[in-house]
Amino acid sequence: MAQIINGKEVSASVKAAVAAETAQLREEKGLKVGLAVVIVGDNPASRVYVNNKKKACEEVGFQSFEYALDENTTEEQLRDLVDVLNRDSRVNGILVQLPLPKHINETAIINAISPEKDVDAFHPSNVGKIMIGEYSFLPCTPAGVMELIASTGVEIAGKSCVVIGRSNIVGKPMAMLLLHKSGTVTICHSKTQNLKEICLGADILVAAVGKPNFVTGDMVKEGAVVLDVGINRLENGKLCGDVEFESAEKKASYITPVPGGVGPMTISMLMKNTLTAAKQQAGLI
Ligand code: NAD
């Protein structure tokens, strides 16, 4: 039976470290840390995410600046706001909550954010830095997964790592981070053949597919570390991951639950990135 990786606990310890350093910077250098969160329209899921981010800012001692814009905001208006935030010295990090309404080009908005304030690490300049291993911001969800693996004490170097999913925000950067830690990485996606066989070779298995219970116990190698990024809402309203927990738990050595696994890590890594941004902008690192 696997040990459960407690994402809430690891996330709390990351936030506690960020809070302690934030307090120290304020006392010793008079430095305040600020995050701007921009939301366009009234997508209920986005609202929940934005509220959670504001709450996390309070917990760690950041100032948060919320910009809730009308659904009909034009791309130009949003770009103007991003320009203002790029120049606002109180704002160290800018987060534009995705998805944006269809009439706004997300790529154009992401590219308009100053890379120094791009705490989601979605700007092409930050994505490129991740590729060459010279990054200051890590994309929050994959970085959270890396913290969870570290919490188990399992060494990544030399291990067979399989990532299911190749999205720009999860799968691809996840594979890069595992590669930087010298894992032997395979990326699987919707066109992959023999997925089960490939998964069965994985010492570390990351599922980021977006399909409930997609990875079943018979796809998990005995003793593997299983990280479930998926957040799927079932018809009965319950949340469920991409991994069928009951069967996978019997095979894995460590496994993340959903909820309470990878999910809580994403916000704490966002806080960590914002602190890094503030220190960089103050010339402290
Ligand atoms: P996405 O839809 O952009 O990507 C899904 C990936 O799965 C694609 O690359 C696709 O090739 C692959 N895929 C689809 N069908 C497949 C199949 N049959 N076999 C193998 N691969 C297949 O999704 P995403 O944005 O990467 O998110 C993935 C999941 O993670 C979603 O459930 C999402 O809600 C969740 N998520 C969680 C967090 C978090 O904070 N925990 C953050 C981001 C995303």
Name the residue ranges covered by the structural domains of the chain. Answer: 28-114, 140-263
Q: Which class for 48: exposed (0-12), middle (13-18), buried (19 or more C-beta within 10 A)?
A: exposed
Residue 182: predicted pLDDT: 98
At 248, is the pLDDT very low, low, confident or very high (cuts 50, 70, 90)? very high
CATH number corresponding to 28-114: 3.40.50.10860
Q: Looking at the CA of residue 265, tell me the nearest atom of ligand 1.
A: 40
Measured in residues, the chain has a length of 285
Mean pLDDT within 199-224? 98
User: What's domain 140-263's architecture?
Assistant: 3-Layer(aba) Sandwich (3.40)
Residue 230: predicted pLDDT: 97
Write the residue with the smallest CA distance to atom 15 of ligand 1: 190
Residue 163: predicted pLDDT: 99
d(CA 273, CA 8): 18
Mean pLDDT within 28-53? 95
- Above pLDDT 90, what percent of the chain? 99
d(CA 128, CA 36): 24
Q: Which of 98, 209, 216 to mutate to test the pocket of ligand 1 (most atoms within 8 A of CB)?
A: 209
Q: Which of 167, 191, 213, 228 to mutate to test the pocket of ligand 1 (most atoms within 8 A of CB)?
A: 167
Q: Model-level pTM? A: 0.96
At 263, is the pLDDT very low, low, confident or very high (cuts 50, 70, 90)? very high
Residue 165: predicted pLDDT: 98
- Same CATH topology for 28-114 and 140-263? yes
Q: Looking at the CA of residue 171, tell me the nearest atom of ligand 1.
A: 26
Residue 227: predicted pLDDT: 98
Q: How far is CA 201 from the centre of its chain?
A: 26
Q: Which residues have C-beta atoms less than 6 Å from ligand 1?
A: 141, 164-167, 169-171, 188-190, 192, 195, 208-210, 229-232, 262-263, 266
Q: How far is CA 26 from the centre of its chain?
A: 26
Cα-to-centroid distance, 189 and ligand 1 (Å): 9
Cα-to-centroid distance, 213 and ligand 1 (Å): 13
User: Which of the residues are catalytic?
Assistant: 53, 97, 120
Write the residue with the smallest CA distance to atom 3 of ligand 1: 167
Residue 78: predicted pLDDT: 98
d(CA 54, CA 233): 23
- Above pLDDT 70, what percent of the chain? 100
Cα-to-centroid distance, 137 and ligand 1 (Å): 21
Q: Which of 189, 191, 205, 227 to mutate to test the pocket of ligand 1 (most atoms within 8 A of CB)?
A: 189
Cα-to-centroid distance, 33 and ligand 1 (Å): 32
Residue 91: predicted pLDDT: 98
Mean pLDDT within 45-62? 95
Cα-to-centroid distance, 211 and ligand 1 (Å): 7
Residue 40: predicted pLDDT: 98
Residue-averaged pLDDT of the chain: 97
Mean pLDDT within 199-211? 98
b/e sequence 155-172, b meaning 16+ C-beta within 10 Å: ebeebbbbbbbbeebbbb
Residue 55: predicted pLDDT: 96
